[in-house]
Structures are given as C-alpha cells and as structure tokens.
C-alpha cells in the first residue's frame, strides 16, 4: 500500500523536534508541504534545513509562534496559509508533560497547560476549519497521551487537559463528518521524543541512552519504548485518503501499555 499526501498542506505544532518533526518528515516524504510551528527560531531553522536537505525541493515553512496564546495561533495559521496555501491537515502536537500532586498545581500552571494543549487545538481548528469545509476535505489529528483514557494519581494537569482534548476530538469528528473533515486522536505512550531525551539527560545516575531506554521499556508489553518514526507512520496514514473511513477515534500508540483499549 502506498500512502501519498501529494498536493496537501499540513500545519504541525511542536514541529521543530521529536514527534512533530518526525511527522513532518514523513509527510514531506509522502508529498505534502509542511508548516512547522514552534517557539524556538533556531530549532525551527535547523528542522527546516534538515528536511530540505533530505528531500530536494521540499516546501517547508518555519513559523515561530507561541500557540499557547490566541495571537500565536492566529499568526501561525495565517502565516502558514500565506506561505503554502490553504491548510488541509492540522496536527495539534504542541505540549509538554506537566504532572504532579493535585495540591501542588496552582492556577497558573493549570491555565498554562490548558492554553497550550486544549485551547491551541480549539483556536487552530477554528482557523483552518472554514477552508476545509469549503473544499470538503480536511484531516485533524490531536496528539494526546494515554493518560486521557487512564488518568493516574498525580497526573494533573496533563491527564485532564488531554482528556478534554479527546472529548474535543469526538465533538469535532461528529461536526466534521458531513464535510469530509476527519478528526482523530493519537495517544502517546512511551516513545522516543525530545521530552524523553530531556528526562534521560536529567537522570543523575548517568546511565547510557540505550540502557536508559531499555529500562523504561521494561513495563511495556512489547518490551521496548516506541520510535518517533512509528508514531509518524500512523499520523501519515490517518492524514491520507487510505484512512477515509476513520474518524472520531482515539488510538493508543503505546506498545500495549495502556490498561484501556
């Protein structure tokens, strides 16, 4: 089966590193143009250069914006459309893992987490929805995590904001279906990404990256942590015509680790 995205334009938040960059790379390989959105200009420039070096003639826009704000979302969507054309595929991937004991999470952290993970998806979807509806074609992928289905103690605020993102996914899928706008969630388990690289770097034991990955993977039924490329492959499928009858789903990409289907 060939999965192609020829002629499609994708906007990917958190696109300069980790899962977002892996998704962008797979999209370009499949023929799409991509707008990478993140806050760090240096990381964006590096990501854009890396993709264009790998794929001659790739159309890539690097947009520095804080999607945790209304202004940042508006600028990201408008700039992407101006540089590449109407957005066909939106990947709401921005976010970091914020978690702690409930009583330790103050209002400021709750608000920041909801702004970055939930309201960014709301605002960006609102920005791209009209053109998708007009053209009767759209794909929206909300990157969540398995805590959205199985929230653990000390999982706030992330588990709560991600659960809200899963509810948003279902609402949008129902409203988008008559217009051929398909909306799905991808729930991250333990997958190689920038966040896990940082966690390894912060481990005071100083163990190697390979040993650390093996240790983290012991609790996963498949016996290892996932690869960013594996996550990106599913995103590419969901964004393609091959997934034309899939909407309103929340798919675990976690090696079987989640207790909830």
With vertex at residue 199, the alpha carbon angle to CA 114 and CA 209, rounded to the nearest 5 degrees, is: 145
Closest by CA position to 227, among listed 23, 11, 7: 23
With vertex at residue 27, the alpha carbon angle to CA 20 and CA 186, rounded to the nearest 5 degrees, is: 50
For the cut 90, the answer to whether the pLDDT of residue 197 exceeds it is no
Domain ranges of the chain: 9-191+226-253
For the cut 90, the answer to whether the pLDDT of residue 199 exceeds it is no
CA 184, CA 129: separation in Å to the nearest integer?
15
Please write the tens of the pLDDT for every residue from 146-164: 999 999 999 999 999 999 9
The tokens describing 165, both together, are 């993102």
Q: Which residues pair with 92 in a beta bridge?
A: 142
Please write the tens of the pLDDT for every residue from 19-40: 999 999 999 999 999 999 999 9
Contacts with 121 (C-beta within 8 Å, 6 or more apart), sequence order: 92, 142, 165, 168
CB 94 within 8 A of CB 117: yes
The count of other CB atoms within 10 Å of the CB of residue 143 is 26
CA 249, CA 36: separation in Å to the nearest integer?
25
CA distances from 105 to 73, 119, 158, 256 (A): 25, 19, 11, 30
Mean pLDDT of the chain: 96
Please write the tens of the pLDDT for every residue from 118-139: 999 999 999 999 999 999 999 9
Average confidence (pLDDT) over 225-241: 98
Which helix (H) or strand (E) covers residue 24, if one does?
Answer: helix 18-29
Considering the segment(s) 9-191+226-253 as one domain, its CATH architecture is: 3-Layer(aba) Sandwich (3.40)
What is the dihedral sign for C-alpha 234, 69, 169, 176?
negative
Residues making up the chain, counted from first to last: 261
């Amino acid at each position: 089966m060939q999965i192609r995205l020829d002629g499609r334009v994708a906007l990917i938040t958190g696109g300069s590193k980790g899962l977002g960059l892996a998704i962008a790379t797979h999209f370009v390989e499949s023929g799409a143009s991509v707008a990478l959105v993140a806050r760090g200009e240096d990381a964006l420039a590096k990501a854009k250069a890396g993709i264009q070096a790998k794929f001659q003639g790739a159309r890539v826009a690097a947009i520095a914006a804080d999607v945790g704000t209304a202004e940042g979302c508006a600028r990201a969507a408008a700039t992407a459309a101006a540089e590449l054309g109407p957005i066909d595929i939106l990947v709401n991937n921005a976010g970091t893992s914020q978690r702690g004991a409930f009583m330790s999470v103050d209002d400021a952290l709750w608000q920041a987490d909801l702004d970055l993970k939930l309201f960014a998806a709301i605002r960006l979807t609102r920005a791209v929805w009209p053109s998708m509806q007009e053209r009767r074609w759209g794909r929206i992928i909300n990157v969540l995590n398995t805590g959205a289905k199985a929230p653990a103690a000390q999982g706030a605020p992330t588990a709560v904001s991600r659960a809200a993102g899963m509810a948003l996914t279902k609402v949008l899928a129902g409203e988008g279906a008559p217009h051929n706008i398909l909306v799905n969630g991808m729930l991250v388990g333990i997958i190689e990404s920038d966040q896990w690289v940082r966690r390894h770097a912060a481990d005071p034991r100083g163990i190697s990256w390979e040993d650390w990955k093996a240790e983290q993977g012991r609790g996963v039924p498949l016996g290892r942590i996932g690869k960013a490329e594996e996550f990106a492959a599913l995103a590419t499928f969901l964004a393609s015509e091959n997934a034309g009858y899939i909407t309103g789903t929340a798919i675990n990409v976690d090696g079987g680790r989640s207790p909830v289907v």
